[in-house]
A and B are shown apart, each in its own frame.
Chain A
Amino acid sequence: MQQFLESYLPAAPLVVLVYAMIPLMIILLYALFAIWFERKVAGHIQDRLGPMRVGGWHGWSQSIADLLKILQKEDIVPAKADRFLFKLAPFIAFAASYGAYAVIPLSSEYIGSMIDVGVFYFIAITSLLSISIIMAGWASNNKWSLLGAMRTAAQTVSYEVPTVVTILSVIVVTGTLNLMEVTEMQSGNTTLGFLPNWIIFHSPFMLLAFVLFFIAALAEAHRVPFDLPESESELVGGYQTEYSGMRWAVFMLTEYVDLLLLSLIGVVLFFGGWNSPFGSFMDGPVWGVFWSVSKAMVLVFVMMWLRWTLPRLRVDQLMNLCWKYLIPICFVNLILIALWEMLF
């Protein structure tokens, strides 16, 4: 992929730039589509139709219309806000989310960076997201925003533990931190003769590990039932209360980018990444992008489905769930997976 770009582009920095921008194309297209899709999912779950008017077929261009509208909105900064930090926060949030795409293999020919500490880097860079939310909450100089930010800090620090432990239980099996190698190990069609060689089918405990990872990932992405940082019925809008126009849109974009990111990481760790589910059928670099994105879209759909099905947890329930249930189960599961790995 890099050689291909080098043969067409004149300068090395340009190659790096274009190479780094490839996930952005996918993300922007996806975000437009996902916001419309979420509204359709919400509508159908609640026995409505959702947006139907803009663009003809089932209102497919609703998001484009919304984007054009939001571009024209005034960028309001509250008088008593900390101007610089207030303006900076959305961009740090997006940079933190986008930075994590550097280690996600989108296809067998595309990964941003082949560093040997891929998953570790992923865990580290996503923690910048919570800092940007604290920054937004504090700089807004608003009670709701600050409360939302504090909740985010507490929630992220707590839920990082189960996320890291479940990721570690996958690493125990693969023996490498590089996500490209993790994906390559899941090629082929061997488990029980008919199942794809994905890690989730590796042992019964892996299924549990995935469920735990998914719960923790929902909390890390601040999605319902864990969307306490922005719970609209008690905190108005949480950390984004004071934001408007494009800056709010960047936060919205970050939320959806994060959703895809955690789904992609789940797909890479448990569902074979860019590998085709049918062995060598529809396999290859271009199909790889198709498979990794469409598998991730299935997980994104499940997250949306949960959002419109489950009620929100209370703060103390959230902490109880994490420290008293998730973390002990995660550790026991990690030990069981390690044992399974030693015995078989």
Chain B
Amino acid sequence: MELSAFLFYFFALLIIGSAAIMVFSKNIVHSAFALMFTLAGLAAFYALLYAGFVAVTQLLVYVGGILVIVLFGVMLTTRGYFEKIKTRTVHLLPAALFSMAIAIILITVFLSTEWILAPLEEEVFTVQGIGELLMTDYMLPFQVVGVLLLLAIIGAVLMATRVAGEEEPPSASG
């Protein structure tokens, strides 16, 4: 087997296995750590497709950022030392029908689509092109996203300070 094919199947197994653990685990922290392997495996897929920038962004944003915050949140908010999640099945029939429908649609789409296979190009460096596009054609969306993120940060800081302010007056007056 070729090295790239071996890597593909290795990471595919990793993604599927860890995703299954994430869904079926009764321990929320286990789910979060399984999510790490799923996201990192996806990053490896992007890397195998020569999309280095997307792969690294996936790693940085999801694994390094969001997952750390998820873990942080889980550990800070769960009371009573990580109770087991109560899992039981509800609405069995509608859920089964719905998932069947989605599965049928996905399989039909997969079979009916004519897949266009691009010839393999080695070492396509993408980051410069992305940068140039962001600074020319997509300047406005780029700036709007920046302003949106700034607003979110300011909002978060405002909410955090308001909570602290509400706690202070009783201690100051009493």
| A-to-B contact residues, CB < 8 Å | 12-13, 16, 82, 85, 114-117, 120-121, 123-125, 127-128, 130-131, 134-135, 138, 146, 149-150, 153-154, 156-157, 160, 177
Contacts and interface: CB of A to CB of B under 8 A. Distances in A.
Interface in B73-119: 75-76
Contact of B60 (A85, A124, A130, A157): A124
Contacts of B128: 116
Contacts, number: 79
B21 to A, nearest CB: 10
Nearest to B72: A153
B8 interface: no
B3 A138 contact: no
Interface centre among B52, B53, B64, B69 (most CB of A within 10 A): B64
Contacts of B123: 114
Contacts of B57: 120, 124
Q: What band does the interface of chain B fall in when counting residues whose beta carbon is under 8 Å from A?
A: 20 to 34
Interface of B: 3, 29-30, 33, 36, 40, 52-53, 56-57, 59-60, 63-65, 67-69, 71-72, 75-76, 123, 125-128
Contact of B127 (A114, A116, A125, A131): A116
B64 A128 contact: yes
A124 B71 contact: no
Given A128-B63, A131-B68, A156-B68, A116 B52 contact: yes
Contact of B56 (A120, A149, A156): A120
25 contacts: A114-B123, A115-B52, A116-B53, A116-B127, A116-B128, A117-B52, A120-B53, A121-B52, A123-B60, A123-B64, A124-B57, A127-B60, A130-B68, A131-B33, A131-B36, A131-B63, A134-B72, A150-B76, A153-B71, A156-B68, A157-B65, A157-B69, A157-B72, A160-B64, A177-B127
A146 B75 contact: yes
A85 B37 CA distance: 13
B59 A150 contact: no
Contacts of A128: 40, 59, 63-64
Sort A-B residue pairs by CB-CB distance and give the 6 closest, nearest first: A127-B64, A124-B60, A124-B59, A116-B125, A115-B52, A121-B56
A117 B68 contact: no
B3 A12 contact: yes
A131 B53 CA distance: 22
Nearest to A153: B72
A124 B125 contact: no
